[in-house]
Amino acid sequence: MYGCAARVSRPAGWSNDHGIPLADVGHVRIAQRTVGNGTFQLFEDALHAGIIDLGSLLGQLPFQVKVAATRLVIQEALGQSAVRGRLFYTLPSLKALLGDAERALEAVLTILNEEFNFPFKDKYAARLGNFEIFELNSWLERSPPFLIESARETARDLGGPQTIDICRTPEFAKTSHRAHVVGRAAGDIVFDRLIALPEDKRRVSVPASEPLDQIEFRLFDETGDTLLHFERGNFVNRVGFVMMPLGRQMTIVDDLTQRVVGAGRALVSKASTVISHSSHRSMVGGPAKGSWRHFADEMSSLVAAQLPKPSEDRWFERGVEGEVGAIAHLNSLLNGGRIRAAVLVDPWFGADALVRFALRLGSQDIHLSIITSWATVDPDTNVALDPVRDPTEKLEAALRQIEPFLNPRLSIVNLIDGKQQAFHDRYLLLYPHEGPDKVFLLSNSINRIAGNWPFSMSLFSPDVGREIQRYIEGLCDGRDTARNRTLTTSFRWPANAS
């Protein structure tokens, strides 16, 4: 799945192997070795010839994979911030590697993230299947032989100038180096210099005009061609405290407490225990009133409150203008140029909503699935349905009438749980052509969308959205995954329409 190598100070012959089980997939084997130069040279020769021969390193059965692509990058790795990495890609098939088990990719990337301390759950996921060689700088796994620090010239003058010091060990200072330092205050660049670090000069000091919030430090060799180190640091200029003196502790014994009995001591305590407390806030080191920093902080808070950054959330006022605006916005989201399919989950989606909403959708390139839940009440009139007649008869009649005029490829499923509605909340799930899937929470049903009440829709964050997506896709398959229950499909269109 992934492998890497780097020169270390530990002698050859050390090894550490262990396996980590993966539910429904198998297990991940982690193998670590230190090998001699000769052994690794044979492996590296094969690598440059286009073959990753792990068998030669692990000393076991031959295991060879062809190299599909190579790159050279500079990155943070193995405790150093500017490491040259030679990347050898195999571009594996994820289906062949992981199969179809749910959450297999998440489990594998989590293990790799924890074992290697690389961001496999983020940008490093594209390196799955790689073997990588990291060319560590001369200090290997030891602490860097240099540091950068900043200090005020006068301890009491919080707003006065600072001194930036770059220090090197005697051994490291035997050669000259070059540094590039950028300092920021309140987001503005106030310091940007190339600094020469002469041979045998262990400490070089340069002044900064005011206290810094952030510093960027790049260290190069004497030619300036090779980056040896990069770091970005934030200075603590203020500290906020919250004191919470604890008061009485109360134990509640009610229905909720009784229902969690046997589910574990931690959950029982969480359900039954209430500890009263008060809160006292204070700030140490904040900007003085009347200073430019204090004014900048106030303006930043004011702008954030009154001019919020636009998002994908929407609010539509009650009334016909809001109703038309909400339908127009949904029409823009349900666009084949942006998505390939969508699922609308709405237990009260009725015949009126079908005519008012579905007929106004213009894209012919998407598949729109609507999951609804008519049970005993007509969602359009709020009147009890005739128990003798098919509850979705009105919906099917409307579908037959408007079918020739529909643009999206539409399917509708009605789910019930016994004689009750199968679900309550309203969601919109989008499957974009690019990027992750999106799930919105809808405040109201599409019936009279913003006619009777304001209508809002809010995009879930990806982690929560993923859980809700599983729930929605379970409904599409006729299952309530939250309760592990099979639901009854009382109506399916177009399958039920002849």
The DSSP annotation for 421-471 comes to ES----EEEEEESSS--EEEEESS-STTTTTSS-EEEEEPPHHHHHHHHHH
pLDDT number for residue 497: 40
Please tell me what DSSP assigns to residue 61.
S
Q: Which of 244, 254, 311, 324 lies closest to 282, judged by CA?
A: 244
Residue 354, burial from CB neighbour count under 10 angstroms (0-12, 13-18, 19+): buried
Contacts of 449 (CB under 8 A, 6+ apart): 316, 323, 326, 327, 353, 356, 357, 455
Strands 479-480 and 239-243: unpaired
CB 469 within 8 A of CB 429: yes
Instruction: In whole angstroms, give the CA distance from residue 170 to residue 253.
Output: 68
pLDDT number for residue 338: 95
Instruction: In whole angstroms, give the CA distance from residue 93 to residue 100.
Output: 12
* CATH number of this structure's domain 146-235: 2.60.40.10
Distances (CA, A) of 432 to 94, 161, 169, 328, 338: 21, 52, 54, 18, 6
Q: With the C-alpha atoms ordered 445, 449, 452, 456, is the resulting torsion angle positive or negative?
A: positive
Which of helix, strand or coil describes residue 267?
helix
Q: Which of 90, 86, 71, 74 lies closest to 128, judged by CA?
A: 90
242-493: what CATH class? alpha beta
pLDDT number for residue 447: 85
Q: Spell out the per-residue pLDDT of the chain, length 498, in tens.
A: 899 999 988 899 999 988 888 776 678 889 999 999 999 999 999 999 999 998 888 876 667 899 999 999 999 999 999 999 999 999 998 888 777 777 788 888 999 999 999 999 999 999 999 999 999 999 988 899 999 998 776 555 556 678 999 999 999 999 999 999 999 998 999 999 999 999 999 999 999 988 899 999 999 999 999 999 999 999 888 898 999 999 999 999 999 988 988 888 899 999 999 999 999 999 888 888 898 988 999 999 999 999 988 999 999 999 999 999 999 999 999 999 999 999 999 999 988 888 889 999 999 999 999 999 988 888 877 788 777 777 678 888 888 888 899 999 999 999 999 888 999 999 999 999 999 999 999 999 998 787 788 999 999 999 999 999 999 999 999 999 999 999 999 889 887 543
As annotated, the residues of the chain forming the CATH 3.30.870.10 domain(s) are: 242-493
Which of helix, strand or coil describes residue 72?
strand
Instruction: In whole angstroms, give the CA distance from residue 234 to residue 447.
Output: 52
* CA 482 distance to own-chain centroid: 23
pLDDT number for residue 324: 93
Which of helix, strand or coil describes residue 386?
coil
Instruction: In whole angstroms, give the CA distance from residue 78 to residue 229.
Output: 13
As annotated, the residues of the chain forming the CATH 2.60.40.10 domain(s) are: 146-235
